Amino acid sequence: MKNKYEWESYTCQPPLAVKGNQNLYRVEFVRGDIITMEGIPATLPFGGSSGFWGDSGKSWTSQHGTPIGADVIYYAGYEDTFYHLKTDFPLEEMKKAVDTTYQYKDDTFEKFSGLIFGFAPQGMVVVWKEYGVIRIELGRYQAEVIKEDKKLEEQLFRSWSMNREEVKERDFMQNTSCAKWDMYRKRYTFRIVMQNENRKLRLFRYCFTNYNGEKDIIFMPPRPATTYDNRALPQILELDWETGFYERFRGNIFLNEKVIFEKFKNFKPEGKQEFQVKISKDNKKLELFLNNEPIEVDSVRIYKGSVIYKDSY
């Protein structure tokens, strides 16, 4: 049973550098237990969180079993608060998750490979399921403030070079809020449609890196339009296409956070919206439209593609 399910645990937080702290939202763990259905011990990585929202950037010792809950105690220095996350995960969803695979490229499939725990202000914790490069939100959970924390303080700080007051003086922030990361989790119904000026164009893949930390890949049907899906808004939209044997391309569209959330703020979750992606005939220009209106983005980059697909030229 131990070798039936093997995966890794990760932790992350929003990135923020302030004064002498290059990772202000980092949290430190006193306890990091992951509960498994089989009773096999599993844990979060030792130390503190890292990376950015949805991605820790670090690997950890492989864990085993079917993860069905968490029992985590951590310290958020920017709030000078100890939190306790004690929660169950949906049992049937997790039993299904460890047996599910997702398509990555043509005939390549990814199995369940990890759980990512993200820690935001006010005890907000988001957990994602990982399948290789694919990330899917499992849920949002609420950690509770631990008021009687003297023993936890002694346990955590006894090996630190700074004491609690020094950490508070450096890191403490008034009125921290999780509102931004809850905003990221809002889901809308939309699809992507390709509009191009080159009849030879073959579109193979859309890759969504979303503001809520999810990452998803869609391989294209014969007609270059996705179905309407309910999903969080994209932060980066990546696509692969070809117009000939030596004409393979990858394009990245980096959306503007302020612009995209302003555009969607009055849309209902069930209302159908449409992004249009336009590629020029010479493959040198890539544009994004929302409901046929041009939308401002941070940047667009086009590279020579290197991936060869089953239906490539």
9, pLDDT greater than 50:
yes
| 298, two tokens | 């941070």
Residue 210 CB: number of other CB atoms within 10 A?
22
Compute the distance between CA of residue 293 and CA of residue 15 in angstroms, rounded to an integer: 32
Q: How far is CA 280 from CA 59, 62, 174, 226, 312, in A?
A: 40, 46, 49, 20, 20
Percent of the chain with pLDDT over 70: 97
Question: Nearest Cα to 48, choosing from 13, 78, 19, 87?
Answer: 13
Write out pLDDT tens, residues 235-253. Answer: 999 999 999 988 999 999 9
Mean residue pLDDT of the chain comes to 92
Mean predicted confidence (pLDDT) in 7-36: 90
Contact 97, 112 (CB under 8 A): yes
Architecture of domain 186-304: Sandwich (2.60)
The residues with which 70 forms a beta bridge, in sequence order, are: 34, 87
Residues near 251 by Cβ (< 8 Å), separated by ≥ 6?
Answer: 238, 239, 241, 279, 286, 300, 301, 302, 303
What are the boundaries of each domain within the chain?
A: 6-181, 186-304
CA-based R_g, the chain, Å: 22
Q: What is the pLDDT of residue 1?
A: 47
Which helix (H) or strand (E) segment is 168 a member of?
helix 164-171
Write out pLDDT tens, residues 115-130. Answer: 999 999 999 999 999 9
Residue whose tokens read 């041009």: 294
Compute the distance between CA of residue 169 and CA of residue 191 in angstroms, rounded to an integer: 47
Q: What is the pLDDT of residue 238?
A: 96
This prediction has a pTM of 0.93
The more confidently predicted of residues 16 and 25 is 25
The more confidently predicted of residues 77 and 57 is 77
- Phi-psi label, residue 226: left if phi above 0, alpha if psi -120 to 50, beta otherwise: beta
Q: What is the pLDDT of residue 19?
A: 73
Q: What is the pLDDT of residue 16?
A: 85
Rounded to 5 degrees, φ, ψ at 291 are: 50, 45
Q: What is the pLDDT of residue 223?
A: 67
